Amino acid sequence: MSLPHDRHLSNGLPQDTGLVALDLESLGEPEVESARQRLMGLAATRRGEHLCLDLTRLGYLSSTGLNLLVAVNREVRAAGGSLSLHNVNGTVYEIFAVTRLTSVLDVRRRDEGRDQSAAASA
């Protein structure tokens, strides 16, 4: 999994906010452990900040992947920050909606806002 350098946005998000690409097509059992290490490491280095994950490439999300994103959210919030998930495609958004995690996580569909083109994967 590649998490390229932060890309700063000019679409109304706070100045210190970086959009970080989650460069995965699938977040299931095989990918979760390496993704956990990278995302928790990112959360640890961004304590107290707003963390935006770009999920443009993500096409599959399992219950294990959902659990990881909830855990990352909990970690970020415990450190005084916040997490938002950007550029979520319709299929993946439906998984968040059916599980009612849209009430817990800040999940933004691919067509919401102007940030969709701001962070192409490097």
Is residue 2 in a domain?
A: no
Q: What percent of the chain has pLDDT over 90?
A: 69
Q: Which ranges of 1-122 would DSSP assign to H, the alpha helix?
A: 29-45, 63-78, 90-98
Instruction: Find the CATH number of the domain harbouring 51.
Output: 3.30.750.24
> In a 10 Å sphere around its CB, with 0-12 CB exposed, 13-18 middle and 19+ buried, how is residue 81 labelled?
middle
Q: What confidence tens digit (pLDDT) does each residue in 52-84 have?
A: 999 999 999 999 999 999 999 999 999 999 999
Domain presence at residue 81:
yes
Residue 91's domain comprises 7-116
Place of tokens 């940030």: 115
Q: For 79-99, how does the pLDDT look when each residue is reduced to its tens digit (9 = 90+)?
A: 999 999 999 999 999 999 999
Assigned domain for 92 exists: yes
Question: Total domain count for the chain?
Answer: 1
